[in-house]
Amino acid sequence: MSSRKLKNILVTGGAGFIGSNFINYLFGMSATGEKAFMDSGFTGNIVNVDCLTYAGNLENLAQVEEKFGGKRYFFEKVDICDRAEIERIFKQYDIDTVIHFAAESHVDRSILGPEAFVRTNVMGTFTLLDVARTYWNVSLDNPRDDVLFHHISTDEVYGSLGKTGYFTETTPYDPRSPYSSSKASSDHLVMAYYHTYALPITLSNCTNNYGPYQFPEKLLPLMISNIRDGKNLPVYGEGLNIRDWIYVEDHNRAVWQIVNDGKTGEKYNIGGENEWQNIKLLHKVIELTSAEVGKSAAEVEKTIVHVKDRPGHDARYAIDCTKIKKELGWERKMTFEQGLSMTVKWYLTHPDWVNHILSGEYKNWINRNYSDR
């Protein structure tokens, strides 16, 4: 049972990869069948605010919409930078909890066009914080413990690690890309609203997520769909950069635990304790995907192309998640073997979802911006 009494939760970015997995998980519609709501005794409502950028896709939530739409689940196509609309939503649904996923999330796009990242990640987060502060009427003179703003962030705010060491909650911020610096700015605003206005907040910084519904511009779904389609597999530089991978539902369970039981004003690191060099991970994905689609792994290996490296490419991310384990008893449930195999199968058995994305605006964007894929 939860220690916070949540009633009406505003989830931002709920049509994106992690946000839609979060809503599916809450309502028991995810691949693993976990039912966070039922298990935690939550009986309130979810309001999903998403302006449906290229990354937002309501197909991800079709089952939730069908079963709970208009009853416990409500969708609002609204931009988080639109203050008047955000104020209306707080009032109309009497929001007491915000779980803020909405963001521009792709590092490569932030290098090609940083403005959208500053707008959504900085101004959008500011708008939500400020509407929450005013609607909830909180201040140092009027503190409250019956409302909460949870901000979802990334390990990229900590910068780049060398061969050893881990990011902890006290690692100084050192963002390198327009994406990570916009997320760092949003984290700072969140902490500022806590210290200055007593806005009850929690914050989480997570490593690379993988799982169903991830937009195929990100490494894993991109490689799986390119293997399926016989396309080249673009590896940035030598492929020696290291990322720490976590199954999306393990991340979302951590978020749900923080929202229910996390300490107000605290930040929590969430990680997979599962580091992979990009090139080694790609070999693994080739092995799994080739077997599923009846291709020879040796032939698919030949389609790897080493392309121009990402500017400012962070060498290594790795998270120390001792705090959330110790304080909230959070544990990962998915092994990487199982999660990766499920994920490969998911993309291959959902061709309509993948093809729909690959055929539209995304295809034009790729053609406009890249000549090497």
Which of 154, 208, 161 has its CA nearest to residue 315? 161
Q: Which is nearer to ligand NAD, 216 or 234 (CB)?
A: 216
> Which of the residues 1 through 40 are near ligand DAU (CB under 6 A)?
none
Contact stretch for ligand NAD (CB under 6 A) within 61-69, 74-82, 164-172, 335-343? 74-82
Contact stretch for ligand NAD (CB under 6 A) within 31-39, 95-103, 314-322, 346-354? 95-103
Residue nearest to ligand DAU (CB): 154
Examine residue 250 and tell whether it contacts ligand NAD (CB under 6 A): no
Helix, strand, coil share (%) of the chain residues, nearest 5 = 45, 15, 35
Distance between CA 325 and CA 14 in Å, rounded?
26
As to burial, measured by CB atoms within 10 angstroms (0-12 exposed, 13-18 middle, 19+ buried), residue 106 is middle
Selected from 222, 255, 321, 357, the binder of ligand DAU by CB under 6 A is: 222
Selected from 26, 131, 199, 219, the binder of ligand DAU by CB under 6 A is: 219
Q: Which residues pair with 76 in a beta bridge?
A: 49
CB 23 within 8 A of CB 46: yes
Selected from 135, 236, 353, 362, the binder of ligand DAU by CB under 6 A is: 236
Q: Which is nearer to ligand DAU, 256 or 317 (CB)?
A: 317
Q: What is the DSSP string of 72-118?
A: TEEEE---TT-HHHHHHHHHHHT--EEEE--S---HHHHHH-THHHI
Examine residue 53 and tell whether it contacts ligand DAU (CB under 6 A): no
From the candidates 25, 73, 158, 179, give the one annotated as an active-site residue.
179
Place of tokens 């061969």: 163
Place of tokens 């689940």: 73
Examine residue 110 and tell whether it contacts ligand NAD (CB under 6 A): no
Edge-to-edge strand ranges of the sheet holding 97-100: 73-76, 45-49, 8-12, 97-100, 148-154, 201-206, 267-270
Minimum separation from the CB atom of position 66 to ligand NAD (A) = 19
- Identify what 304 binds: ligand NAD, ligand DAU, none; CB under 5 to 8 Å per kind: none
* Residues making contact with ligand NAD (CB under 6 A): 13, 15-19, 50-53, 55-56, 79-81, 101-105, 120, 124, 152, 154, 183, 206, 208-209, 215
- Give the residue numbers annotated as catalytic, written as ranges: 155-156, 179
* Residues making contact with ligand DAU (CB under 6 A): 105-107, 154-156, 207-208, 218-219, 222, 234-236, 239, 241, 243, 278, 310, 317
